[in-house]
């Protein structure tokens, strides 16, 4: 397989990395100044282009939060180091992160979470895991509909190329970072087609990395284990929604939400930022902790192939934490000196070249993680098997069945009616609560065509049925591409 080189692979360690820097809103400018000062003192070679993003830009009428010039810079450097921004209240503004994520095709969100005990109190001093979250698909595509008075839906879309790409990234990341195991979290005991496909992709790709152990857990028990036994995890890969939830659980139990940085990696660029927001309540007070944004900057240097500078910067920061020099939000029993943003920054710079004694030091990465391109496959043989028709109805199941049967034919008979997930016809249970939306399933006795399905819909409309949505049923290489209802 050919892999597209990341920006780092195009530049040697001695080169300078062009990077677009956004100082953001609130505490953003304070912590960005601090972070850049530390990274540069560590020897980072960054050719910085500054852009303005966030509140001011939104209010100037750019609903995406980005000007055309800012976009041009990001497209040029393909690397964005972004401080938090304030999203203005009220409608009409689009999330800047979504704009950047979709614009740059940022398919993987990478969030390292580790404990810094005893300097940051945690029950899990040995936890050190990296969550790789799929970033473009799943329920987060935001395709939602109100279908009837009572029923709304959100579509969960997973693709094979999207799943394979993020899983392969997780394994390549593990390989490069010298990590030992990748764990897949999904709920494929219930969502057999969507999460089942993600799990299958995981098993297939895991086989290509025999030196890395792999396992799989159902996401609910996986999330519980991250909360109580995070030390058992190394790299975790999971679809978008689960990833969102488990990365917050992990950061919370590490005791270091404020120290978490996040990387968004994609085909057309990458973005590095802190997990926290713009903290308007402490803006301008000089007390903000720059560590979250700084640690994201360390990840950025590793990504950009500047592993030596990344390790030097991290180790000086860790030595400062060990010396008990903490910002207010980090202070606890181990704090010897509570300092503001500037003094903290100076303390880290003064320790450049030191290595932490208790905390695990950072090793320079051996390069950048290759970016797997989406892989296209030979399409499978797709055969139309029938149609699910979702209708609005309030007058009882048997009356609905009678009308649906009159519209059905011998070639395309009604085989099932469900309400939410429960089968209500034939042989439904009288106790089942029914909403105002039913699904009628019609399956071809032999073979059929799309015209047959459309003709069926016409007959239903003529019979006074209100159709909200239809979903064609297919098989792929002889395997059904749709779930069977319970008892079907």
- What residue ranges bind ligand NAI (CB under 6 A)? 27, 31, 84-87, 258, 273, 276-282, 288-289, 292, 329
Of 360, 275, 297, 282, residue with least CA distance to 327: 282
Q: How far is the CB of 252 from ligand NAI (least distance, A)?
A: 13
* Of residues 106 and 167, the one with the C-beta less far from ligand NAI: 106
* Of residues 95 and 189, the one with the C-beta less far from ligand NAI: 95
Of 365, 372, 408, 388, residue with least CA distance to 472: 388
For strands 269-274 and 261-266, give the pairing. Answer: antiparallel
Q: Determine the straight-line distance between the first and last CA of the chain, rounded to whole angstroms.
A: 42
* Of residues 280 and 353, the one with the C-beta less far from ligand NAI: 280
Name residues whose C-beta falls within 8 Å of residue 69's C-beta, 6 or more positions apart in sequence. Answer: 51
Cβ contact 19:80 at 8 Å: yes
Count Cβ neighbours within 10 Å for each residue of 437-461 and write b for 16 or more, e otherwise: bbbbbbbbeeebeeebbeebbeebe
* Of residues 163 and 256, the one with the C-beta less far from ligand NAI: 256
Q: How far is the CB of 31 from ligand NAI (least distance, A)?
A: 6
DSSP at 191: -
Nearest residue to ligand NAI, by Cβ distance, number only: 277
Q: How far is the CB of 123 from ligand NAI (least distance, A)?
A: 21
- Tally of CA atoms within 13 A in the half-sphere of 459 that contains its CB: 14
The angle formed by the CA atoms of residues 211, 216 and 219, to the nearest 5 degrees, is 145
Task: In whole angstroms, give the CA distance from residue 97 to residue 95.
Answer: 5
* Of residues 258 and 372, the one with the C-beta less far from ligand NAI: 258
* Of residues 117 and 330, the one with the C-beta less far from ligand NAI: 330
* Of residues 36 and 473, the one with the C-beta less far from ligand NAI: 36
* Of residues 107 and 344, the one with the C-beta less far from ligand NAI: 344
Task: In whole angstroms, give the CA distance from residue 422 to residue 77.
Answer: 52
* Of residues 281 and 431, the one with the C-beta less far from ligand NAI: 281
Cβ contact 35:294 at 8 Å: yes
Q: How far is the CB of 27 from ligand NAI (least distance, A)?
A: 6
Cβ contact 251:257 at 8 Å: yes
Q: What is the DSSP string of 91-138?
A: SSPPPHHHHHHHHHT--EEEEEEE--TTTS--S-TT-EEEEEEE-S-B
* Of residues 197 and 288, the one with the C-beta less far from ligand NAI: 288
Q: How far is the CB of 84 from ligand NAI (least distance, A)?
A: 4
Q: How far is the CB of 33 from ligand NAI (least distance, A)?
A: 13
Q: How far is the CB of 288 from ligand NAI (least distance, A)?
A: 4
How large is the angle between the packed helices 291-303 and 28-41, nearest 10 degrees? 50
Q: How far is the CB of 278 from ligand NAI (least distance, A)?
A: 4
Q: How far is the CB of 90 from ligand NAI (least distance, A)?
A: 12
Q: How far is the CB of 291 from ligand NAI (least distance, A)?
A: 7
């Amino acid at each position: 397989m050919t892999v597209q080189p990341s920006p780092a692979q195009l530049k040697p360690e001695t080169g300078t990395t062009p990077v677009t820097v956004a100082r953001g809103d609130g505490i953003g400018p304070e912590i960005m100044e601090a972070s850049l000062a530390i990274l540069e003192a560590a020897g980072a070679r960054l050719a910085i282009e500054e852009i303005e993003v966030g509140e001011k830009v939104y209010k100037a009428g750019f609903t995406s939060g980005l000007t055309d010039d800012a976009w041009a810079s990001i497209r040029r450097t393909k690397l964005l180091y972004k401080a938090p921004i304030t999203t203005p209240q009220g409608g009409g503004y689009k999330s800047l992160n979504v704009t950047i994520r979709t614009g740059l095709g940022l398919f993987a969100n990478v969030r390292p979470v580790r404990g810094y005990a005893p300097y940051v109190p945690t029950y899990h001093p040995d936890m050190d895991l990296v969550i790789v979250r799929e970033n473009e698909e799943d329920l987060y595509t935001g395709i939602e509909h109100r279908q009837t008075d009572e029923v709304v839906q959100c579509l969960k879309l997973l693709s094979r190329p999207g799943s394979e790409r993020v899983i392969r990234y997780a394994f390549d990341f593990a390989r490069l970072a010298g990590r030992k195991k990748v764990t897949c979290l999904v709920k494929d005991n219930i969502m057999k087609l969507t999460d089942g496909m993600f799990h299958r992709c995981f098993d297939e790709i895991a086989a290509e990395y025999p030196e890395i152990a792999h396992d799989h857990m159902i996401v609910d028990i996986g999330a519980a284990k991250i909360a109580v036994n995070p030390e058992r995890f190394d790299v975790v890969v999971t679809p978008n929604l689960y990833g969102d939830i488990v990365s917050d659980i992990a950061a919370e139990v590490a005791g270091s939400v404020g120290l978490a940085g996040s990387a968004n990696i994609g085909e057309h660029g990458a973005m590095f930022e802190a997990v926290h927001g713009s903290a308007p309540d402490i803006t301008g007070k000089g007390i903000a902790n720059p560590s979250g944004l700084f640690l994201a900057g360390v990840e950025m240097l590793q990504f950009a192939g500047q592993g030596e500078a990344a390790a030097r910067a991290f180790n000086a920061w860790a030595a400062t934490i060990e010396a008990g020099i903490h910002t207010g939000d980090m202070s606890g029993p181990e704090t010897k000196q509570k300092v503001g943003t500037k003094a903290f920054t100076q303390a880290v710079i003064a320790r450049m070249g030191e290595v932490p004694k208790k905390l695990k030091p950072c090793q320079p990465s051996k390069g950048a993680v290759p970016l797997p391109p989406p892989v296209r496959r030979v399409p499978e043989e797709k055969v139309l098997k029938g149609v699910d028709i979702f209708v609005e109805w309030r007058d009882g199941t048997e009356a609905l069945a009678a009308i649906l049967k009159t519209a059905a034919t011998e070639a395309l008979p009604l085989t099932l009616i469900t309400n939410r997930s429960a089968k209500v016809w034939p042989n439904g249970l009288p106790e089942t609560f029914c909403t105002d939306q039913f699904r009628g399933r019609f399956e071809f006795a032999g073979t059929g065509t799309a015209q047959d399905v459309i003709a069926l819909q016409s007959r239903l409309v003529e019979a006074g049925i209100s159709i909200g949505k239809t979903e064609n049923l297919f098989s792929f290489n002889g395997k059904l591409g749709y779930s069977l209802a319970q008892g079907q």
